[in-house]
Structure 1
């Protein structure tokens, strides 16, 4: 009977030996699958975060473009009104020269009303004056005239005023610079 028990124990040990490699292989396969799932999960998380970041950038960019579009939407209308402003300025200069008081008051009222309306829409005068150093980013040189050393490279005369709508210059001032 002892030999029979030994044989049974040996059979059980043999069976355990047979099961252990299979179980070990199954556990190994499960670990590999778990690692591949974790890697795939990390890959999908990274993909999601990148997509989310890209969407946020797109949202910010379109919001910025929308604000810029709204601030310069009336640019065409205002640009077409700028020659009217120039005509008012020339008429005012002529009236001031002749000293016609009542005409001057009427034109001044109309001019100031038009300027106030346009400035409420975001129109601003480009800040440039005679004697300033010429900057090609802020003004357009129409011509150069001989001038003394002190006016060399500086604005001698402003032929046409410049205007900007918001931060964008919609018409550059036309100037004469000293040579």
Structure 2
């Protein structure tokens, strides 16, 4: 029986402690409010963390998409750059064949030259147009040498084009080599 009395005493003590906590909570409403405020702050912090992570992921997706597009645009840059000397040789051969008497040979080589140029153009290769009298731009042109300007109007301008320049997409893959008048 003593155990029954002890257990009843313990239950009564537990009930009194619970009642005391309830009374204190009822008497102190700020503890519930501060707990709610704490939870709100924690929720706001988690939302902020989530939004930052989401924004970071979106930026990552955009960046990788941009890099992938750039890679596709310039994927064949190495091969096309290796083909540029062949294109230069074609141009030189055509200039020499223009002087020859054999029109059929000239037409045949011209046809092959045009096909080759079109194939490179379809891959994104564009020639940088430079002519005598254009203003020299160090960002675009590569000055091979300077010579005294044959005319006063050519001072500081391009006098001659030694080698054509090309772009692949938006990127210059070979700068035009020019002679500048001084």
Deviations 1:10-57 (A, max 9, x none): xxxxxxxx8996134553221111100000000110111111111111
Q: 1:95 aligns with which of 94, 97, 100?
A: 97
Give unpaired runs (5+ residues) of structure 2. 1-19
Q: Does 1:121 align with 2:123?
A: yes
Provide the residue aligned with 1:177 in structure 2: 180
Deviations 1:50-97 (A, max 9, x none): 111111111101100100001000000000000000000001111112
Please tell me whether the aligned partners of residues 97 and 106 of structure 2 are also in contact (alpha carbons under 8 angstroms): yes
Counting matched residue pairs gives 162
Provide the residue aligned with 1:75 in structure 2: 77
Q: 2:153 aligns with which of 143, 150, 153?
A: 150
SS at match of 1:141: strand
Give unpaired runs (5+ residues) of structure 1. 1-17
TM normalised by structure 1 equals 0.85
After TM superposition, what 4+ stretches of structure 1 lie above 4 angstroms from structure 2?
18-21
TM normalised by structure 2 equals 0.84
Q: 2:107 aligns with which of 105, 113, 116?
A: 105
Provide the residue aligned with 1:22 in structure 2: 24
Q: 2:134 aligns with which of 132, 135, 159?
A: 132
Structure 1 151/19 Cα, relative in aligned 2: closer, same or farther at 3 Å?
closer
SS at match of 1:111: helix
1:105 CA drift (Å): 0.6
- Measured on the aligned residues, the alpha-carbon RMSD in Å equals 1.7
